[in-house]
Amino acid sequence: MKTPRERLSINAYLVFFLVHTVQIGLGIVGVQRVIFVEARQDAWIAVLLSGLWIHLVVFVICQTLKQTEHDNIFSLHTFVYGRVFGWMVNAAVVVYFLMAYTSILLGYVEMALTWMYPDFPLWGGALILVVLTVYALYGGGFRLVAGVSFITFFMAIWIVVVVFQPLKYAEWIHLLPIFEATPKQMANGVLKTAYTMLGFEVLYIIYPFVKEKERAHRYAQLGVLLTTFLVAVVTVIAIAFFSPKQLEVTIWASLSMFTIVKFPFIERFEYVVIPLWLLVILPNLLMFMWAMTRGGKALFHVKQKYLLFVFGPMSFFVAILFKRRATINEFIDQVGWYGFWLSFVYPFILYMLVKYKAWMREKKQ
Amino acid sequence: MKWLLMFTLLLSGCVQPRVLERQGIITAAGFDKEGKQYKGASVMLSFQTTGSSMSEVIEATDVTSKGVRQDLEAQTSHDLGSGQIRVAVYGKELAEKEGIYPLTDTLQRDANIGSLVYLAVGDPSAVDIIKSKKTEDTPDIGTYLYRLIEKNAKTESVLAATLHEFIAHYYDVGKDPTLPCLTLRDGKPIIQHVALFKGDRYVGRASLDESFYIKLLASGRNVGIKDVPLLVDDISPLIVKKRGKKVNIVLNEIRTKRNITLVQQKPTPRFQASIEIESEILETSTKLKPITKDNVHILERAIEKQMKKEVERVLHKLKSYKTDPIGFGQIYDHSVRKLQLTPKQWDKLYQDTQIDVDVNVSILRTGTID
């Protein structure tokens, strides 16, 4: 595959926004409970460990891609596994993106319905989001994704300031004693952060589009750093704010914390946050849909634009299969688990395979 | 593409509109149990097209608490909206016999309701308090109760009583919630006591005087004014003319620091609770000699002695009610490694817990006169 044309490429600093905004999404709204169940009051340490791990993974991903500079994950797979087997692995990656996309779609719609519009149908919400993604990508393309993540980052980052308001009710004693979790609990905790931290694997696909490739790595690391920091902060605050058993039953801990926030001009801040959160998940939706069609292009050799009309309806129909909170939850867990192996573990294997293949080819010549 | 967009715009009309004049906004709700019947009342605020608002109390009785809600709905032409509920009052009998958690669960689950709703106990009945017409200058009883509790929780000795805190303490092992206890005086709701809970059950009440210490130890937050009766003998060098046995000093707390640590775990838990109060004198019941640098410590020591005595009495009372609003159990749980304290374990340990109290009072100011 050739390096994309100049017209389509992006500046390296945009990688920071792309990686960060695709990581932050639905997970951060309710991640606290999920990790807390595993690692108890040391949940925030699990987040930091997971962050460290991701820094390493990002390094490995960039090392893998550096070898050829114009390859993405799909062409690498064909190179490593051969045509037939590579096609199947690529299909699996596309299915992963489809699942990730659908889980965000479902999660957000479900949240909006629970908090704001209980009598609005789920399919209606899902349809709006799918149409929005298809419309945006049909007219835009990759550069639009980069632009959207840049703008939405600044439109949403100010919410961080408000997160500190619940500290008025914080009981710091909940964080003690530190380091009580056993290694096994901690490992499970790290595993459970996966869904929230996922997204950095799109580096595999956006890397060829970056103009200054040598600087892409640095910006990707910075994006991951900010994500880890934010997730760790909301986790610490939630542990202090809720009592242990209360946190275990709170689905959207971050949102529930916002019910404390009160301004003289707006009494219920969560009603601002939920619509605003659409801006936070929009880069996720666009990025995953774009990655999906990019994979589809490698699979079927069809223009990306046309694939939008295949994958869009497909995720819509998958989404409307779900009705209950419990099944949606299970689905999101599944995506997290699948994503964990693909993004936290697989990059190391792929790196070694690519190295080995390249070495073999050299030897042959 | 244009058609799709149009369609999306049309879809937004699917959400049910809420017309302000058709809404009955609930600002306060009360629940009671009488025999086997649940009794509920809520204050409904409705807006008229003429511009003024009107508040009305609706009441219902049913055998289940959920049935009460349905009955309430059947009594009004307005759509009852719970998003503006400020205060939920629970009858003492209900809180004592059944516990109020199942009822607070409804508030918590409803995304329309914020976490800053105040909870309170109505003694003897919650419905009577909701039905009270005396609301000072506020338009309805809900707003009045809200402001009453808010003020007293912020600056006086009532412990904060928001839904969030009640639920958090209910779930916390080794910490029990407290709520303000509302009573009617001449038909006007006032806070006379603080209701002590064990889990979600009312077990007893503490006077506001006792509540001063509970709040002090539990949160270290603003506790307001405290009247300390001192023995004349303790401060004899300061007395001008001896009359009676006691002298009352009213202190206004300026800054408080409290620190509770677990000093010994086995065989029985032992805590060291130290309180440092910086205060000013507001009032003395008899005339004292001018308080100067040299004799202020006499007064301080006497106050410390008295406070220590009172704290120990309060702690003893709490133990006899088997309730732990200060959260010694919580401190125990979080100080000991590898321990998942269960409520049952703590119940047992709590009775044998020893608490050493150390009070340190400093008088910073004595008002405009010495």
Question: Residue holding tokens 């962050």?
Answer: A51
- Do the beta carbons of residue A283 and residue A148 sit within 8 Å? yes
In a domain, A327, yes or no: yes
Best B115, B146, B170, B346 residue to mutate vs chain A (most A CBs within 10 Å):
B115
Domain count along chain A: 1
In a domain, A361, yes or no: no
- Strand-pair category, B87-91 with B118-122: parallel
B338 touches chain A (CB under 8 A): yes
Output the pTM of the full model. 0.84
Residue range(s) occupied by CATH 3.30.300.210 in chain B:
225-365
A169 touches chain B (CB under 8 A): yes
Give the CA count within 13 Å in the CB-facing half-sphere of A207.
30
- Please state, in angstroms and rounded to a whole number, the distance separating the CA atoms of residues B210 and B214: 7
Neighbouring residues of B12: CB distance < 8 A, sequence distance ≥ 6: none
DSSP letter assigned to residue B338: T
Query: Least CA distance to A112: which residue of chain B?
Result: B111
**What CATH number does residue A78 fall under?**
1.20.1740.10
Q: Kindly determine whether residue A180 and residue B11, on different chains, have CB atoms separated by under 8 Å.
A: no
Query: Least CA distance to B327: which residue of chain A?
Result: A173
In a domain, A1, yes or no: no
What confidence tens digit (pLDDT) does each residue in A117-138 have?
888 888 888 999 999 999 999 8
User: Which portions of chain B are predicted below pLDDT 50?
Assistant: none
- Give the model's pLDDT for residue B296: 82
- Give the model's pLDDT for residue A227: 93
In a domain, A186, yes or no: yes
ipTM: 0.78
Question: Residue holding tokens 């511009």?
Answer: B51
- Do the beta carbons of residue A163 and residue A36 sit within 8 Å? no
Output the CA torsion A321→A322→A327→A330 (10° steps): 80
- Give the model's pLDDT for residue B133: 80
In a domain, A226, yes or no: yes
Residue in B1, B115, B116 closest to A135 by CB:
B1
A279 touches chain B (CB under 8 A): no
A174's tokens: 């909940």
Question: Which structural domain range is residue A279 located in?
Answer: 11-350
- Give the model's pLDDT for residue A101: 93
- Give the model's pLDDT for residue B51: 65
- Give the model's pLDDT for residue B3: 67
- Do the beta carbons of residue A19 and residue A220 sit within 8 Å? yes
Distance of CA A194 to the CA centre of its chain: 9
Query: Least CA distance to B2: which residue of chain A?
Result: A135
- Give the model's pLDDT for residue A113: 86
CATH fold, domain B225-365, is GMP Synthetase; Chain A, domain 3 (3.30.300)
Q: H/E element holding B185? A: strand B178-185
- Give the model's pLDDT for residue B2: 64
In a domain, A364, yes or no: no
- Do the beta carbons of residue B28 and residue B107 sit within 8 Å? no
In a domain, A6, yes or no: no
Cα Dmax for chain A: 74
Give the angle B210-B211-B214 at the CA atoms, nearest 5°.
100
User: Which portions of chain A are predicted below pLDDT 70?
Assistant: 1-6, 69
B23 touches chain A (CB under 8 A): no
For residue A207, which of A110, A105, A63, A39 has the smallest C-alpha distance? A63
In a domain, A2, yes or no: no
